[in-house]
């Protein structure tokens, strides 16, 4: 990674540049830093400001090997399936109504399609910190406290590249940290701007059985104190279980699965059996898991997704950086061309 970064830094002309500004959101470690809520928050803010954002994703763990670009959402409707899009792009398409979501290993190709055919005015590059082939206008690095300074590079640890790469980012978002803690972490990594991101669980919503879409927010809300079984196939499933307990839910059992796990009929049977054995009246899962549960067909238990919301501390640092990046790009169109 050091060699690759130096090659692009010495020859920036090797990077391809889209016509519209690119906001990259990524991390230095393998999964579990809270990157997706930050991507969703930026995309939603852009929509609220009158922009037409395109989320560009690689579509990790897709089942269908599709050439070119898969349009997951066209800015109006979700138009793709789990197999073609991957779980995180499909989740983001459902979370951020009005966002364009395109999947391709070639993010330049995806961005070009989003601009020319779908009217994208700005791009959010999902998991883009190591995607050096595409030029970006703002690099946002997402981490947790101590993860980078105390981490080791793969295979000894979870870091994708050495700690000194973090200084290439312009802004650091530290998950589950206050503004002061985030500032200290940013200083240690050589990053000028920072903010904390405090995650909270939203109200549970029913997941439908027929693969026709996640249930509406507020449908089938369970009373706090109800006995539930926590099921999650994410990077750190124990964090989801702990968050449920912290929010006041009576978690009588938990079933962790690997990240991006595709639920089979036998998995559904095992979950149903476990729920009965621990006396759970419902199964709670994450937004990312919910799209994979739907693809498994009829669900033989009461299943609810629990959305994760994020609030930034201080609240305006990230969005002001995005605003300034877009303004700078608009004032230098000749440079972009």
Count of other CB atoms within 10 angstroms of residue 327: 11
pLDDT digits (tens, 9 = 90+) for 206-228: 887 433 333 344 444 556 768 99
Hey, what domains does the chain have and what are their CATH numbers? 7-199+311-336 (3.40.50), 203-306 (3.40.50)
pLDDT digits (tens, 9 = 90+) for 78-129: 999 999 999 999 999 999 999 999 999 999 999 999 999 999 999 999 999 9
pTM confidence score: 0.90
**Pairwise pLDDT comparison (71 vs 14), residue with the higher score:** 71
pLDDT at residue 77 above 50? yes
Give residue 330's pLDDT. Answer: 85
Q: What is the mean pLDDT of the chain?
A: 90
Give residue 143's pLDDT. Answer: 95
Give residue 32's pLDDT. Answer: 76
Decide the pairing of beta strands 138-144 and 171-175: parallel
Angle at 124 between CA 197 and CA 91, to 5 degrees: 75
| Sequence-ordered list of residues with C-beta below 8 angstroms from that of 156, at least 6 positions apart, any chain | none
């Amino acid at each position: 990674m050091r060699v690759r970064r130096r090659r692009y830094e010495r020859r920036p002309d090797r990077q391809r540049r889209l016509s519209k500004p690119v906001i990259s959101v990524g991390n230095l470690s393998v999964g579990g830093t809270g990157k997706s809520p930050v991507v969703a928050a930026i995309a939603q803010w852009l929509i609220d400001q009158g922009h037409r954002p395109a989320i560009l994703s690689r579509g990790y763990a897709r089942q269908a090997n599709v050439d070119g670009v898969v349009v997951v959402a066209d800015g109006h409707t979700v138009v793709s399936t789990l197999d073609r899009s991957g779980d995180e792009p499909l989740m983001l398409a459902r979370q951020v109504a009005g966002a364009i979501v395109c999947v391709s290993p070639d993010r330049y190709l995806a961005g070009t399609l989003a601009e020319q055919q779908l009217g994208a005015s700005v791009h959010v590059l999902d998991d883009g910190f190591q995607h050096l082939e595409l030029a970006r206008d703002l690099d946002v690095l997402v981490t947790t406290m101590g993860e980078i300074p105390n981490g080791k590079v793969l295979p000894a640890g979870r870091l994708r590249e050495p700690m000194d790469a973090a200084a290439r980012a312009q802004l650091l978002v530290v998950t589950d940290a206050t503004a002061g803690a985030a500032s200290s972490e940013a200083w240690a990594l050589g990053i000028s701007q920072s903010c904390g991101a405090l995650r909270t669980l939203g109200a549970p919503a029913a997941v439908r059985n027929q693969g026709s879409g996640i249930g509406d927010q507020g449908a089938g809300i369970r009373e706090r104190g109800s006995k539930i079984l926590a099921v999650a196939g994410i990077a750190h499933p124990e964090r989801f279980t702990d968050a449920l307990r912290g929010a006041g839910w009576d978690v009588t059992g938990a079933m962790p699965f690997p990240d991006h796990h595709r639920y089979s009929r036998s998995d559904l049977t095992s979950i149903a059996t476990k729920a009965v054995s621990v006396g759970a009246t419902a199964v709670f899962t994450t937004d990312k898991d919910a799209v994979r549960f739907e693809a498994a067909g009829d669900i033989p238990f009461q299943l609810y997704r629990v959305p994760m919301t994020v609030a930034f501390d201080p609240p305006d640092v990230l969005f002001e950086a995005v605003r300034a990046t877009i303004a700078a790009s608009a004032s230098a169109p000749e440079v972009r061309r």
